[in-house]
Amino acid sequence: MSSSSSLSSSSSSLLGSSSHPLTPYGWDADWEAEFAPYTAQGLVPGRVVRVDRGQCDIVTAEGVVRADTAFVTPHDPLRVVCTGDWAAVDPDGSPRYVRTYLPRRTAFVRSTSSKRSEGQILAANVDHAIVVVSAAVELDLARVERFLALAWESGAQPVIVLTKADLVADPVTVSHLVQDVESAAPGVPVLPVSSLHGDGLDVLAAVVGGGTAVLLGQSGAGKSTLANALLGEDAMGVQATRDVDGKGRHTTTTRNLLLLPGGGALIDTPGLRGVGLWDAGGGVGQVFAEIEELAAECRFHDCAHETEPGCAVRAALDAGELPERRLESYRKLLRENQRIVAKTDARLRAEIRKEWKRRGAQGRAAMEAKRSGLR
């Protein structure tokens, strides 16, 4: 069954519900109040469930309609219509048009791989960001931390799902994998799941039920299989992955919003080869909360955690309380995020150049002092 026909049948069944037909999609009193000015203009509300080639599928009280986004095509790629948006649509006409969309409560944004480093919005108005990681291949904790930084920055609550747990023969090994991921994701639920056998699906459904969740992860991580298991039908195409590295071709090519049978909605996304940060300083801080807490105890407020005296971060590192890998990952993501922000912030670029010069001068002075001591 195609995603569009699945959505149409789901929407038709909702029309007999005693509640508002859009309630299962997340419509509530606050959205209704925000939409009031557009109701007065004769427009109708709907949630965007798919976007492609300047058009989108929108579920409204009357069912799924096709609408053109020509009136909402700004130069800023972060303001284009996105899956998950609540749109104001023409009540009729051919073609119908999206006239605007309501301000987003949350937005999952990444940096594109282009040289311009533009932001790309992946999903809007999401309550939970499900980071999908395969337990059948070697864990890449740095990539997990990267996904988490974007998830926290979006405003959504992250959840990590270790898929393909059935391919790990020893339950003790699964437990160790969970612990390893938990060490890189403080405060984030880590759930081992077998989409094939259904193990752990009830726990995940209970965590994300009632809101909107987005699936995020690399190709081959098992996102589409997990989506099908949660949806209770083969709504998403699935292809086999290579045994040697667990990688697979993209099986999802667009972002689709579908209703979960137990309540809530799910947005599946294409596998992400690159996950660049986009102004995610706050998200990085939440992923590495323990480092930021230590940094607050450093003697100098601008401590680089390298050779400065009274550095609480280095002290924790030397005492074995902070893994070197965590600190290096923290530094890498901070540097990357700073570069992205600096490209759009002239004042910050000037501050970064000033800081580079200051550190360069300090390094030269230290080298000169060392040379003088050897004379």
pLDDT given for residue 30 in this prediction: 96
Judged by DSSP in three states, 307 sits in coil
Has residue 344 got a pLDDT over 50? yes
CA–CA separation, 89 and 69 (whole Å): 10
Q: 53 and 83 in contact (C-beta within 8 Å)?
A: no
* Closest C-alpha to 86, from 44, 119, 131: 44
Digit-coded pLDDT (tens) for 218-262: 877 888 899 999 998 765 544 444 343 444 444 445 679 999 998
The CA dihedral of 62, 64, 67, 71, to the nearest 10 degrees, is 70
Give the containing element (helix H, strand E) for 97: strand 96-101
**Tokens standing for residue 97:** 């048009």
* Closest C-alpha to 158, from 193, 126, 111, 120: 126
Q: 23 and 57 in contact (C-beta within 8 Å)?
A: no
Higher-pLDDT residue of 192 and 76 is 192
Helices 324-343 and 346-374, packing angle to 10 deg: 130
Average pLDDT for the chain: 81
Detail the residues annotated as belonging to a binding site for GTP: 163-166, 217-225
CA–CA separation, 247 and 219 (whole Å): 6
Has residue 31 got a pLDDT over 50? yes
Q: 109 and 78 in contact (C-beta within 8 Å)?
A: yes
Instruction: Using pLDDT thresholds of 50, 70 and 90, give the confidence band for residue 15.
Output: very low
Detail the residues annotated as belonging to a binding site: 163-166, 217-225, 298, 303, 305, 311
Q: What is the pTM of this model?
A: 0.78
pLDDT given for residue 271 in this prediction: 58
CA–CA separation, 325 and 332 (whole Å): 11
CA–CA separation, 296 and 301 (whole Å): 7
Q: 228 and 281 in contact (C-beta within 8 Å)?
A: no
Detail the residues annotated as belonging to a binding site for Zn(2+): 298, 303, 305, 311
Digit-coded pLDDT (tens) for 40-78: 999 999 999 999 888 999 999 999 999 999 888 777 778
Has residue 112 got a pLDDT over 60? yes
pLDDT given for residue 218 in this prediction: 81
Strand partners, 100: 88
Angle at 273 between CA 268 and CA 278, to 5 degrees: 85
Q: 151 and 287 in contact (C-beta within 8 Å)?
A: no
Average of per-residue pLDDT across 108-130: 78
Instruction: Using pLDDT thresholds of 50, 70 and 90, give the confidence band for residue 360.
Output: low
Average of per-residue pLDDT across 300-315: 90
Q: 146 and 271 in contact (C-beta within 8 Å)?
A: no
Domains of the chain: 23-103 (2.40.50.140), 122-240+254-272 (3.40.50.300), 280-373 (1.10.40.50)
* Closest C-alpha to 322, from 289, 362, 361: 289
* Closest C-alpha to 94, from 68, 72, 60: 68
